[in-house]
């Protein structure tokens, strides 16, 4: 009888954990996509808030009034406010470009915005099997991503040429000319300047260099291959992490996304006479003719 009583108490404690979902801006499709998947997967009740049009003081008062046990922050802005006003709470996050530039703690959990480097390198080698040299641009924020990519690529015989960039840097054409392909990573220094990205893609187009990008948006810019995170899977992954945490079990604090979406622009590949392994098209989710 005592055991049953203890189990009842434990169950009540587990399911009494209050959860708040903070969406940086629910009009952003990628943010809403992960939230929708999370909402379908999570077993517990939760409260949600969109902070895109709220003032700092309104956000502060709301967080103090609700004062949740667990926060799921979608996007950088959501995470920063949760960390600023209720840092003592467990904060789960997703949809943050290079989370390592933000302040993390022992109560920070999340799914990174980038696919596991080894997975990306393997997919590139599978589809673009003649690739020997890759060029990448990185900044102080993404040096670790570059170093990881370089190490993983070395194991399968690919050389990575890196160029560190700052806000006002120009692109080194000699590095681009030496490489078989250019791999774009989610670097905040590069992607915050849309004109700079478009200029880079124009340079690469003139040099007949294939581009591997990390988001479907870049297909229209001229990327031949996109290796991106499957957003609904991220939402479900966060829900699973929260379930594990509130049940008293341990979870890996920062996880790589487990869902992958691969888009291949076969029409562009043919136009630029890029060799690709047709037998590897089975790993592709979407082929553009």
Tens of pLDDT along 221-260? 999 999 999 999 999 999 999 999 999 998 899 999 998 9
Return the half-sphere exposure (C-beta side, CA atoms, 13 A cut-off) of residue 142: 28
pLDDT > 80? residue 173: no
- The domains found in the chain, sorted by start residue, are 2-113+231-258 (3.40.50.2300), 117-228+261-288 (3.40.50.2300)
DSSP for 228-285 reads EE-HHHHHHHHHHHHHHHHTT----SEE----EEEEEEHHHHHHTT----GGGGGG-S
The model's confidence at residue 198, banded by pLDDT at 50, 70 and 90, is confident
The sign one gets for the Cα dihedral 106, 28, 262, 265 is: negative
- What is the per-residue pLDDT for 259? 87
- Of the candidates 241, 245, 215, 225, the one whose C-alpha atom is nearest the C-alpha of residue 288 is 225
This prediction has a pTM of 0.82
pLDDT > 50? residue 8: no
């Amino acid at each position: 009888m005592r055991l049953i009583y203890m189990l009842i108490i434990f169950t009540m404690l587990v399911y009494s954990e209050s959860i708040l979902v903070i969406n940086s801006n629910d009009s952003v499709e990628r943010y809403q996509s992960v939230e929708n998947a999370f909402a379908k997967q999570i077993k517990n009740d939760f409260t949600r808030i969109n902070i895109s049009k709220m003032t700092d003081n309104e956000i502060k008062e709301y967080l103090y009034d609700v004062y949740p046990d667990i926060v799921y922050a979608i996007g950088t802005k959501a995470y920063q406010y949760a960390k600023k006003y209720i840092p003592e709470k467990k904060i789960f996050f997703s949809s943050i470009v290079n989370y390592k530039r933000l302040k993390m703690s022992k109560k920070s959990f999340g799914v990174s915005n980038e696919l596991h480097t080894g997975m990306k390198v393997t997919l590139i080698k599978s589809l673009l099997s003649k690739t020997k040299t890759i060029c990448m641009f990185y900044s102080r924020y993404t040096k670790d991503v570059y170093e990881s990519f370089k190490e993983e690529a070395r194991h399968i015989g690919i050389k990575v040429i890196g160029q560190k960039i700052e806000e006002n840097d120009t692109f080194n054409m000699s590095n681009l000319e030496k490489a078989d392909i250019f791999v774009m990573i989610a670097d905040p220094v590069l992607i915050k300047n849309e004109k700079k990205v478009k200029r880079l893609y124009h340079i690469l187009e003139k040099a007949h260099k294939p581009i591997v990008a990390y988001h479907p948006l870049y297909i229209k810019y001229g990327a031949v291959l996109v290796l991106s995170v499957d957003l609904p899977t991220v939402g479900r992954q966060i829900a699973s992490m929260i379930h594990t945490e509130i049940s008293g079990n341990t979870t890996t604090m920062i996880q790589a996304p487990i869902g992958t979406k691969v888009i291949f622009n076969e029409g562009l590949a043919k136009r630029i006479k890029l060799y690709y392994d047709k037998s590897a098209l089975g790993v592709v989710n979407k082929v553009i003719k």
